[in-house]
Amino acid sequence: MNIRSFGPGHRRADRAAGSQGVLSSAIFSNDIAQITEFTVTPGGTYGPLRSAGDVVLVVIEGGGWVTAHDTRVQLAAGESLHLERLTPYSIAARELPLRAILVELSASSVTESARTIGTSGGGAEE
């Protein structure tokens, strides 16, 4: 068991190329996934980014825009977005800071997940 603190007081400046006003904290990383909590200040931008595997962005506070494939979509707290592997994307905050969890799957885990989901038969939707 490993408890890891994240959020205020545990973030550091994220220096991803092109990023401005981003603080992040690594939550978990292994061969299957990397999970990061981050904030983007109002007017700030995170990216451009690209992941070898699928990406899930979960907005937990505030809101902003995600630009991918030359399309800009608005996201707010309580919403998530899935991007397929190798999709270039960037994240920008609106008037309030955007706080989110970024889950980046490795390329090999995406293949395994698709195989597992395809054979599981799915589930009931809430």
pTM (predicted TM-score): 0.78
Task: List the chain pLDDT tens, one digit each, 126 residues.
Answer: 888 877 777 788 877 778 899 999 999 999 999 999 999 999 999 999 998 899 999 999 999 999 998 899 999 999 999 999 999 999 999 899 999 999 999 987 655 544 444 444 444 444
Query: What's residue 45's pLDDT?
Result: 95
Whether residue 48 contacts residue 17, with contact meaning beta carbons closer than 8 Å, is answered with yes
What phi and psi, each to the nearest 5 degrees, are found at residue 119?
-100, -5
Q: Which two tokens stand for residue 98?
A: 């955007």
Rounded Cα gap, residues 10 and 93, in angstroms: 20
Taking the domain 12-120, which CATH number applies? 2.60.120.10
Instruction: Indicate the Cα dihedral angle 19, 39, 62, 53, nearest 10°.
Output: 70
Residue 33 near residue 104, CB atoms below 8 Å = yes
